[in-house]
Amino acid sequence: MSGSPPPPGGFVRRIGLFQATAINMSQMCGIGPFVTIPLMVAAFGGPQAVVGFVAGAVLALADGLVWAELGAAMPGSGGSYVYLRQAFRYRTGRLMPFLFVWTAMLFIPLIMSTGVVGFVLYLGYLAPGLGSTAGDLAGLGVIALVVLLLWRGIEHIARITAVMWTVMIASVVLVIAAAASHFHPDLAFTYPAHAFDLTGGHFWPGFAAGLTIGIYDYLGYNTTAYLGAEIKDPGRTLPRSILLSILGIMAIYLLLQIGTLGVVDWHRMTDPHDIASTSVAAAVLERTWGRGAADVVTVLILVTAFASVFAGLLGGSRVPYDAARDRVFFRPYARLHPRHRFPTLGLATMGVLTAGGFLIGRHTDLATLIQLLTTVMVIVQALAQIVALTVLRGRRPELPRPYRMWLYPLPSVVAFAGWCVIYGYADRNSPGRHPVEWSLAWLALGCAAFLVWARLEKVWPFGDRETGEEDPADAGRDPDPRPVPDPTSP
């Protein structure tokens, strides 16, 4: 599982615990809390919005334990693709891993696009006259720069990520420190009437909306699972990086949320014409340490947003690569760059889709984009992966498990229930947008694409179902390093 020589032509295990945790935390924090605090306040209707971040942390911890066990047992490149293939190939062949890759090719770029939307919002604080077209061009330029930087070897990426992680921590710590220096408890802990009325008609829809925003802010704790083939000692490093990143970000978010509410009146965050509704961190710094400090921290937040997009595309681009290499997705995605050893087509495709998601978010709203991406990922990734853990415990008891979920199956039950709440309230919290219907339509389109692909590849349901135990991802072994033939060559 670790210490073996790198396979020729494949990935190299160079990412240690610090870098793995930094990658996760860079992706988790990013621009998220700096743009979603006002959304959370609007969902709950007051400073009780902190409940949403706590609920999101509970769901992230429960789901993170699912990722920790599966990632430690099968640390191949691709994350959920590997786990779903192992769990469901006996009954549905390659359908579930294909559908995961199909949905991941949409929801991962959508997550990245929210970071770019946030980047442009904070850029607007530094450049108040930034128009719609200029903002669009700035966001597209950020995406192009991220893809250009990722067009390098993993040894450079690890160093770049560590530097950007340091900048992220600095920006968050400065905002927290500024809030603490001018903190007013009456602003943070004075709640409107009936704020916690569980029998009223507002609390539970607000809770579901807050849970959606909360888990969005924590998304990224699984980034290193997509890089399993590049992690040193993955049986120990993967679980630790997941849990450490969740606990670290949970502490940061609570301090950031409570501190912000103790400086800026929450009513300002619900006013679309107030700077606190779009650049709340800048509003905190401006009120406490002045405009100069607000400008400096805004620049750091822009770097933080850039780092989150960087880390997300780094991990996400590996998903279609591993699937194509194992003949579960379109074969051209199995190519690595001949020199720097990264998946070229996967990175390029996700870069283009991130640009498309960014433009959608810019011309609708950020809350809608968050709701769309969470509903897309719920069925095939979140819920199916929880089921996969239980299936593999029963069907593959001999599979090496360096880490086993604590208090099993309680975390699985909590995670399953949380994701169901998010999905069940999605349409109600996005009136007129129909995120549930769009997610089901995308899933149906994926099933149709699978049938076409399965017919061409002559696999189930047009061929034999896979029932053997041999699989490149078993027990953490690296995938087959042999090159995949170019399907376009004679």
pLDDT tens digits, residue range 66-122? 999 998 888 876 678 788 888 888 888 889 889 988 998 898 899 889 989 999 999
Buried b / exposed e across 202-211, counting CB within 10 Å, b at 16+?
Answer: ebeebbbbbb
How many Cβ atoms from other residues are within 10 Å of residue 225's Cβ? Answer: 31
Buried b vs exposed e over 360-394: b needs ≥16 C-beta within 10 Å?
ebbeeebbbbbbbbbbbbbbbbbbbbbebbebbbe
Q: Is residue 470 part of a domain?
A: no
In a domain, 200, yes or no: yes
Euclidean distance between the first and the last CA atom of the chain, given in angstroms as a whole number: 37
Say which amino acid occupies 158.
A
> For residue 271, what are the domain limits?
21-463
Is 4 a member of any domain? no
Phi and psi, residue 343, nearest 5°? -75, 110
DSSP per-residue codes, 327-338: TSS-GGGG-B-T
Look up residue 11 and give its DSSP letter. Answer: -
488's CB contacts (< 8 A; 6+ apart) are 332
Given a cut of 70, the residues of the chain with pLDDT beneath it are: 1-12, 77-78, 152-161, 340-341, 465-490
Output DSSP code: residue 192.
P
471 found inside a domain: no
pLDDT value, residue 175? 92
- CB–CB of 55/210 below 8 Å? yes
Question: What is the model's pLDDT at position 154?
Answer: 53
Do residues 286 and 107 make contact, with C-beta atoms less than 8 angstroms apart? no
CATH number of the domain bearing residue 327: 1.20.1740.10
Long-range pairs for 440-449 at CB < 8 Å and ≥24 separation? 442/102, 442/103, 442/106, 442/376, 443/99, 443/103, 443/379, 443/380, 446/98, 446/99, 446/102, 446/103, 447/95, 447/99, 449/98, 449/102
- Per-residue confidence (pLDDT) for residue 455, from 0 to 100: 87
Is 5 domain-assigned? Answer: no
Decide: 104 and 344 in contact? Cβ < 8 Å.
Answer: no
The pLDDT assigned to 278 comes to 86
Amino acid 2: pLDDT: 30
pLDDT at 414 (0 to 100): 96
What pLDDT is attached to residue 77? 63
What's the total number of domains in the chain? 1
Within a domain: residue 319? yes
Give a yes or no: residue 8 inside a domain: no
pLDDT of residue 482: 38
For residue 410, how many other CB atoms are within 10 A of its CB?
12
Assess if residue 472 is contained within a domain.
no
